[in-house]
Chain A
C-alpha cells in the first residue's frame, strides 16, 4: 500500500496550495504561527499567544498553544515517567513522587513516601473506569492502588506480582496487568487471584516486559527482546509478533513486521497496533505492517520511549529528541515538535514522509525534548518529559488533514 496515494487529491494539490494559500509559507521556510481569524480565543496561558491549527489546505492540526508544569508549579519532581488523564484530574508519575493536577483549579496535590506512597518512582499509571481506583506501577517498588486516600501495596514478596520493577500497568475489565522486568502479572480485583505469565506459559523468548495496553478483548505486551505479544482474553491464547529477519543489527525489510524485538511501547486503538522500539516504530492494521524510521519520516529519533495511538491514523511517539506525531497515516503526514534550547521556544515541523512542508515557530511548547510519555485529554494532549510536564491545548483540533476550500475547490 502506498500511503501517499490513499487520500484522493493528496500531495499534488496540497503542495500547490502551499504556494498560493493564505499563509506565505514555502517548503523549508520558517513561519511564525499567527492568530487566525477563526482561531480559539486567547487563554492567557503562559505558553503565550493562543493559536491552534494553521488553517492551510491539507495541513494537519498543529499544537501551538502549550502550558508547562514543573516543580515550580508544585510537581514533586521534573522527571516525568507517566501521565494519565482521568476526567478533571491528571495523574502524574515522577521519579520522586505522585502528583494529581486538578484542571478546574490548576492545583497540584502530591504524594511521596512520607505520605504513604509505597515507593518514590512511579513508572506507570492507569485508572479503573468502574471504580476510579488509580493503579500505579512502581519502578522498583511493585504495584500500588490509590483509592479513597489510601495506598494498597503489592510486591513480589506478598503477592503474585512477579517482580517489583514495574514498567507498565493497564486495566483489563476487572483485571490489572503489570508489565514487569521478569514477566507479566494479572491481578483479578474481584477475587484477588493472581496469574503470572513468563516463558513457562507464554511465548516470551525473553521475559523483560516493558509496556501493556488493552482494547477490544485483546491485551498487548511490549516485551524487550521478545517483540509484541497479543493475549486474547476470551480464548486465553497468545500470539507473538517478532522481527521477521531475526537479526539485532539490521532491519531487512521495513514493512514486514515490527522493526526490532527490543520493544518499548504498544498501543492498540481502532483495531490498529502501534509499536515502538529503540530502533524505530511500526504500525499494524491486522493485515499490513508499516515501519517508521527517523531518516525517512517525522520521527525525531529512532529511540522511542513510548507510543500512544489516538486513532488508526494518528499516533504520538515519545522519543529522546522530541515528540513525533504521525498526524495522518494515509498521507504519511507528520508534525514533529521540539524545543529550541537557546530561545526556549517551540518548533513544529510539518512534513510528508521525509519532505518538510513547513516549519512553524511557536511559543514555548515542550518542556524538554526527552519525551517519556503522552496521554490524550479530549482535544488536549499531556506530555511527560524528563524536565517537566507539558499540556498541548487543542482548541479547534481536527483529525487528519484539513483541506482549503479555495485550494481544493471543495469544502472538506
Chain B
C-alpha cells in the first residue's frame, strides 16, 4: 500500500468530482487494473508527535506501516511491522527499525487511533506503440471510515518513467486542462478534517500574547485560563489511563496556576485567590499517590539495572506490589476526578477567572504586568542566592529541597512571562537555571526514593532477600545523592555569580523610578 500511495516522485493531482480519468483512454492507450479498496487506521499520540515529527503511522491487515509525511499525503514507507495485536507504546513494537524510529517521537506517550479511512485505488499504465509502459497512473479516492460512501477526495498521481518524462507531462497537461489541481490538501488532511480531529500543537509552555504594558489582572487571567484549558484537555486521557503523561501534565498545569497566583500577589482579591489556591491544592493532592507510583514504575528498569542480577528477583516483587497498588489507585483517582464535586470545583475556577466575571479592585490589578513580574523574578533570584550561600556538604536535605522549590517558582515565572524577557539573555539564564534544577531534581529524587524504599520495607516486613535488594538500592541512591551535592555546588556557583548574576540584574532589576511608578 505504501508504494501505491507514494508521492515522493511524480506529480500529485487533486481531481474535480466530474472528471473521469478513463476519458484519457479515448486519446491514449491506457490500461487500467482492477480497483482495490483498503481501510487504513491512522495512529498518533495526544501530542500528535508523529504528525509534527514528519511521520504517518497506519495499520492495515495486521501490519503497521510507518511512512514519512509529505504535507497531508503518505510518503515513502520507512518501516513495517506485522502484528496481530494492538501496539500502544514504542516499546510494544518488536522490530529494531520500528522501535528506533518511534522511540524519539513517542517518548512515554501512547498511540491512539486518530482516524480511519478507506482508500480505493486503481493503477493504470500508459503504453506506446511498442506496448512499452511510458507513464504510470495511480487513481485514488478516499472515504471516511470503513464503508464510507461519500468520496471525500479524488486524486491521480502521475508517475513518469525515466527517459519518458514528456509522456507524463502530456498526461498532466490533459488533466489540468480539465480542472485537476496540483495543490491542495492531501487524503490524510481531508480525512482528519472530516473527523473533526485536525492535528494541533500541544505544549505546556504556550504563548499568552503578553506585553510589558498588559494590565496585570488581564495577563494573569489569560495565563490561568489557558493553563486550565490544557489541564482539562488532559482529563479524558487520565480517565482512560492511556499513558502516564496525561496525569503528569494535568498536575503541572494545576501546580503552575497555583504558583503564579501566589507569586504575583494582589492581582485578584485576596479572599478569592485564597479560595482558588485551596481548590488547586485539593485537586493536586488527590493525584499525589498515583503520580508517585507512576514515577516508581517508570524507573523500574533503571532500578533493577542498578542491582546485581541475583538481587533483582526480590525487588521485582516490590514493583509488582506497586503495580497492583497502581491499579487500585487509578480507579480511586478516576472516581474522584469524574465526581460531580470535582467537576464543580473546575467549573468554579473557570467562572472565577472568566473574562466576564467582575471582581473587586485590588492593588496590583491594573498596573502593567512587566515591571510587576520583573520585580517578582528578581526577588526570587535573590532568595535563591540567599539560600545558596548557606549550602555546604552538611546542609540538611530539607534545605536543598527548599532551594529546589524556589528554583521551580523562578522557572515558572520566567516561562510564563518569557515573551517579556529579551530572547538571548533569557535563553542563557534559563539554560543555567535548567541545569541547576536538573541536579537539584536528581538530589531530591534520590532522597525521596530512599525514604519510600525504606517505608516500603518497614510496611511490608518481607524476607531477607527483599531486605538485601532494598538495602542495596538505598546504598546506591545514597551514594548518588552525595555525588550530586558536589554538582549542585558547582551549578550554584555558575547560577549565582558571574555573567548569570549580571544578566539577572540587568534584565530584571528595575531602576527606582520605574519601580516607584509601577507601584503607584
Same assembly = no
